[in-house]
Amino acid sequence: MKYPDKIDLHMHSTVSDGTDAPAEILSRVKAAGIQLFALTDHDALKGCKAIIAARQEGDPAFMTGVEFSCMDENGKYHILGYGYDPNGQAIGEVIEQGHSYRIEKLRARLDFLKTRFGFDFSEEEEKALFALDNPGKPHLGNLMVQHGYAETKNAAIKEYIDQLQMSDVYISPEQAIRGILQSGGIPVLAHPSYGDGDQLILGEEMEARIVRLKEMGLQGLETYYSGFTNKLRSEILSFAKQFDLYVTAGSDYHGKNKLIALGDTELGAPDEWPKGLRAFLDDVRSRCGYEA
């Protein structure tokens, strides 16, 4: 089959922590010359449904995507899902569970900021936060900047929000993988070398992590990624070959929230692509389907 010349399978809209609405994502993808893309909002499907509804004949090909924030006793993970049925019951249940955890955290953070630092927000502002599809620390941090409580979003998070010591509540990677699979999708480990915060996962630790996740049903590794050095990319590609896993490529575009350009994947021309990436695209098209 003929493959698209330029792809980007990892990006975020205003449905999670990006600054571009889904319709703007579609427009920017077209302008960037990307021929196949996926929207992978955190713990949310709404943006994908909006793009499916907005796409017109001649627009870039699109596959459904999502990125789940996960944790178990062995650490934190981001699990990408591709080509799933956006109306699938299993993936919808995982989305609802993840959203409920985010609401719990937001409520605790608002209470903490008020009691510890005296930071007050209006009733309308708090309602707007709780009404978000995917409320997180960036949204709260931006609001703090607007009130002058912090100079920057990152400072708000590091100097204030993260001072709250709260129990980490996340869906497990097993839940995420199972929900993706049961809705006809392909689960992929996002930016495998990066764990929690500045954590860098390499060598035997990486291998052990991949082995655990593959036993749960993991099928791929995000190998071409904007934040990877050649050394990191080579190690992940080696693991993909060793464990017979698919290869994917994504920028992790967030609009103005990150200095990352659409299409920044370090992926070359299709004739240079590894077998695992071509096999992934073949599988998504034939088994799960994507909007061509």
* Mean pLDDT (whole number) for 230-256: 96
Are residue 78 and residue 195 in the same domain, yes or no? Answer: yes
Last residue of a domain, one of 163, 190, 211: 163
Q: Are 211 and 239 in contact (CB under 8 A)?
A: no
Q: Is residue 87 part of a domain?
A: yes
Are residue 198 and residue 79 in the same domain, yes or no? Answer: yes
Are residue 152 and residue 207 in the same domain, yes or no? Answer: no
Where residue 116 falls among pLDDT bands split at 50, 70, 90?
very high
- State percent of the chain over pLDDT 90: 78
Are residue 56 and residue 111 in the same domain, yes or no? Answer: no
Round the average pLDDT of the chain to a whole number and report it. Answer: 92
pLDDT in tens, 183-223: 999 999 999 998 766 678 999 999 999 999 999 999 999 99
* Mean pLDDT (whole number) for 112-121: 95
Are residue 123 and residue 186 in the same domain, yes or no? Answer: no
- Looking at residue 165, what is its pLDDT? 81
- Looking at residue 197, what is its pLDDT? 63
Residue 2 pLDDT greater than 90, yes or no: no
Are residue 108 and residue 198 in the same domain, yes or no? Answer: no
Q: Is residue 1 part of a domain?
A: no
Between CA 275 and CA 55 the distance in angstroms is 29
Q: Is residue 168 part of a domain?
A: no
> 96-133 burial by CB neighbour count: b if 16+ within 10 A, else e?
ebbbeebeebbeebbebbeeeeebebeeeeeeebeebb
Residue 83 pLDDT greater than 60, yes or no: yes
Q: What is the CATH number of the domain that holds 19?
A: 3.20.20.140
Q: What is the count of structural domains for the chain?
A: 2
The residue ranking higher by pLDDT, 166 or 53, is: 53
Are residue 115 and residue 87 in the same domain, yes or no? Answer: no
Interacting residues of 259 by C-beta distance below 8 A, sequence separation 6+ = none
Where residue 111 falls among pLDDT bands split at 50, 70, 90?
very high
pLDDT in tens, 22-81: 999 999 999 999 999 999 999 999 999 999 999 999 999 999 999 998 999 888 899 999
Are residue 64 and residue 198 in the same domain, yes or no? Answer: yes
Q: Is residue 253 part of a domain?
A: yes
Q: Is residue 139 part of a domain?
A: yes
Last residue of a domain, one of 163, 197, 216: 163
- Looking at residue 19, what is its pLDDT? 92
Are residue 90 and residue 145 in the same domain, yes or no? Answer: no
Where residue 291 falls among pLDDT bands split at 50, 70, 90?
low
Q: Is residue 169 part of a domain?
A: no
Between CA 46 and CA 28 the distance in angstroms is 18
Last residue of a domain, one of 117, 139, 163: 163
The β-bridge relationship of strands 220-225 and 75-82 is: unpaired
The alpha carbons of the chain give a radius of gyration, in whole angstroms, of 19
Domain boundaries, position 139: 102-163
Are residue 246 and residue 184 in the same domain, yes or no? Answer: yes
- Looking at residue 288, what is its pLDDT? 67
11, exposed or middle or buried, with CB in 10 Å at 0-12, 13-18, 19+? buried
Are residue 63 and residue 125 in the same domain, yes or no? Answer: no
- Three-state DSSP state, 113: helix
Q: Are 107 and 99 in contact (CB under 8 A)?
A: no
Q: Is residue 2 part of a domain?
A: no
Are residue 106 and residue 74 in the same domain, yes or no? Answer: no
Query: Would you say how long the chain is, in residues?
Result: 292
